Structure 1
Amino acid sequence: MPDANPAAMEFLLSRRSRPAKTLTGPAPDRAALMPILTAASRSPDHGKLEPWRFVVLERAALDRLAALAVTRGRAAGLEDDQVEKGRTQFANSPLCVAVVESPKPSPKVPALEQTYAVGGVCLALLNAALASGWGANWLTGWAAHDRAFLAEGLGLAPEERVAGFLHIGTETSAPPERPRPDLEAIVEWAEA
């Protein structure tokens, strides 16, 4: 049995995403980001397929994607407020890591299990950023599902998709606590 880690458990019991709109610079530089990405990559990975990859979006890339969000949002006929929300997700971000699901052919590991693994990577990345003292938020939004945006903006292959845009920076204000799940309503004990 591994040793208990009360500090890690306390972190997990009190962790709280930071709203992306409250994040500003500075953001982690490459040296500070690498341990966070390393921690995220230690997620469970049945078959050792690594069905994910990271695209780190720095300032110039974020500005390019903000402009592309306007172009693609208008081309898709989205309402102005949806276009603006897509634009500001990138324009206002100090740093963003796109977690890309990049499925691998496998006779043993179904595609759905690979998708679950990538979700685990997103949560691990979020928690690693928070544990490192950064504010962080996991978002998707319409741009994460727009094939033309993904191909042109991120160079994704047709079989790839974005599992999350993880925005990381310095928080300007702590969010209030929010209601948490009622365990009595969602836990069932199977004794036999």
Structure 2
Amino acid sequence: MARKAGRTPAVTRRALLDAAASVIRTRGIAASLDEIAREAQVSKGGLLYHFATKDDLVRALAQDLVEAFRAEVVAAVDPADSAPGALTRAYVRACLSSSHDEVALRESAALVVQLGALPEVADLVRADTRRWSAELGADGLPAHVLALVVAAADGASAAPLWGGAVPHDEARALERQLIRFTLDQALWSHLEA
């Protein structure tokens, strides 16, 4: 299959990453490069031009997911928020922003499970987790507050891995409660005791 007329290399690369996500989500990590190329409407040679091996494609897909979440968090930072915990509040918003789209969450969870089984992806995720820990740890919240808020946001966003998403209204309420908690210094001292 020839390259789609008018596609730039960046558009083709994006199509390949999206196709890889779709095919791996439904067929598993054993999906072939041929299947991914077909889904992207790109020749296998075109795919190999962008990603020399399947491992390269899978690593790029995992990196893309990591970067997409980071971009969501950055976009969720309130520029008017100068109180300690501004990044943590953005993290909470990003974790809970799509909680109402159960189908998308299940699809994302299926992809994460498939990719997470690969050691090189697990290494990438561990490195990203360390980066988040350092950045959130420097956000100005007490460690016990940060741990509770991040664990709650992560847990709610990971619910599809266990078969269900947090309903939209509950996700919005949880988001408000966690954000309020990051701002309530009086409550922090009660928990510390």
TM-score above 0.5 = no
Choose 1 or 2 for highest CA Rg.
Answer: 2
| Structure with bigger RCO (C-alpha 8 Å, 6+ apart) | 1
Pairwise TM-score range, normalised by the shorter structure: under 0.3
Point out the structure with the larger strand share: 1
TM-score by length of 1: 0.27
